[in-house]
């Protein structure tokens, strides 16, 4: 018998929770899954609806299977994942969304792949992004291209958080002390052999996605800053480039003055250049500031989440 701990972050998911529970338990009732026991860790990420009540009901009915951790406020999905990884007791640990966008039917196949012993983790990738605004898909494709160019850690395009992994991988992930956590990067940073299975994109069963374009942008920025120092190099490059241009300009001005005499004209272009350089300086300071901000927030050593209830 192997225990499979599934970590399920929930943020305002009162409708999805019971539907999800039915679907996942059904998968584990199948005879081919008889070697596995399910342990669920629902993380209520500061929901303002009845999600916690739903989780309490499940826990009361199935105290062995359905556990929950409730956060004191919304800390974000990454914090929920960490809380789950810390609480999970299984030899196999998985991550899964509660909205059934991660198909439970795929789980037996994922566990079979893991069971072969050839891989330490089985991830998933969704193909097709129907039901998603074209602009959003475009932005997300751009993001994957960019991050894989500038980061040494490979971020698999369209990979979901939906995955199962062995205890070995979980322990490695838990060993990373950082507070700003970008899971997709962390799982790839720790290494180990991972196989990706594809599945068709599907719509959520209930509720709405809680990600706005702006949040996705911030999430991308976090990924870039956590896993790449390329923006710092770009800032230096822009600085050097501006210096070279200004040296060339000075030489040009000296030669022109020597051969054609001094002119007083040209102050508008001068003003424009000053503005331009000022802008570049602020831009580079901004990049630097983002990294310093990260260092500041890491150095405060605040916990990643605060638990109000656990069962």
Looking at the Cβ atoms of 79 and 151, the one nearer to ligand UDP is 79
**Does residue number 161 form part of the binding site for Mg ion (CB under 5 A)?**
no
At what angle are helices 77-87 and 167-174 packed, to 10 degrees?
120
Cβ partners under 8 Å of residue 304, min gap 6: 75, 78, 79, 82, 83, 179, 181
Residue nearest to ligand UDP (CB): 9
Indicate whether 99 belongs to the interface with Mg ion (CB under 5 A). Answer: yes
* Alpha carbon distance 170, 164 (integer Å): 10
- Residue 100 CB, shortest distance to Mg ion, in Å, is 8
211 interacts with, out of Mg ion, ligand UDP, none, CB within 5 to 8 A per kind = ligand UDP
Specify the stretch interacting with Mg ion by CB under 5 A; choose among 11-19, 76-84, 200-208, 230-238: 200-208
The residue count of the chain comes to: 311
Among residues 174, 78, 187, 176, which one has the least CA distance to residue 122? 187
Task: State in Å, rounded, how far the first CA of the chain is from the last one.
Answer: 23
Q: Which does 67 bind (CB under 5 to 8 A by kind): ligand UDP, Mg ion, none?
A: none
Distance in Å, CB of 98 to Mg ion, minimum: 8
For Mg ion, which is the closer residue by CB, 58 or 98?
98
Q: Which of 101, 151, 166, 194 binds Mg ion (CB under 5 A)?
A: 101
Contacts (Cβ under 8 Å, ≥6 apart) of 172:
190, 191, 192
Binding segment for Mg ion (CB under 5 A), chosen from 74-82, 90-98, 150-158, 171-179, is: 90-98
| Pairing assessment for the beta strands 194-200 and 92-95 based on DSSP bridges | unpaired
Using CB under 5 A as the criterion, which residues of the chain lie in contact with Mg ion when the complex forms? 97, 99, 101, 204
């Amino acid at each position: 018998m192997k225990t499979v701990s599934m970590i399920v972050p929930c943020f305002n998911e009162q409708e999805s929770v019971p539907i999800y529970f039915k679907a996942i338990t059904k998968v584990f009732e199948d005879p081919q899954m008889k070697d596995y026991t399910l342990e669920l860790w629902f993380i209520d990420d500061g929901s303002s609806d009845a999600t916690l009540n739903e989780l309490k009901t499940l826990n009361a009915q199935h105290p062995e299977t359905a556990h929950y951790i409730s956060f004191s406020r919304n800390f974000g999905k990454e914090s929920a994942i960490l809380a789950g990884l810390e609480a999970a007791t299984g030899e196999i640990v998985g991550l899964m969304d509660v909205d059934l966008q991660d198909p439970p039917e795929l789980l037996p196949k994922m566990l079979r792949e893991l069971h072969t012993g050839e891989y330490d983790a089985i991830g998933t990738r969704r193909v097709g992004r129907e039901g998603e605004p074209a602009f959003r898909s475009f932005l997300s494709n751009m993001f994957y291209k960019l991050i894989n160019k500038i980061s040494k850690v490979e971020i698999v395009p369209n990979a979901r958080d939906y995955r199962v992994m062995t205890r070995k991988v979980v322990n490695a992930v838990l060993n990373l002390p950082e507070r700003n956590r970008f899971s997709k990067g962390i799982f790839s940073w720790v290494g180990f052999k991972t196989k990706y299975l594809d599945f068709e994109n599907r719509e959520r069963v209930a509720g709405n996605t809680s990600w706005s374009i702006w949040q996705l942008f911030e999430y991308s920025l976090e990924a870039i800053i956590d896993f790449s120092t390329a923006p710092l190099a770009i800032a230096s490059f822009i600085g050097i480039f501006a210096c070279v241009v200004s040296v060339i300009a000075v030489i040009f001005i000296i030669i022109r003055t020597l051969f054609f005499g001094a002119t007083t004209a040209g102050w508008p272009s001068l003003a424009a250049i000053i503005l331009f350089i000022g802008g570049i300086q602020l831009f580079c300071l901004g990049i630097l500031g983002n990294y310093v901000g990260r260092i500041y927030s890491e150095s405060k050593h605040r916990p990643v989440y605060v638990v109000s209830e656990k069962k």
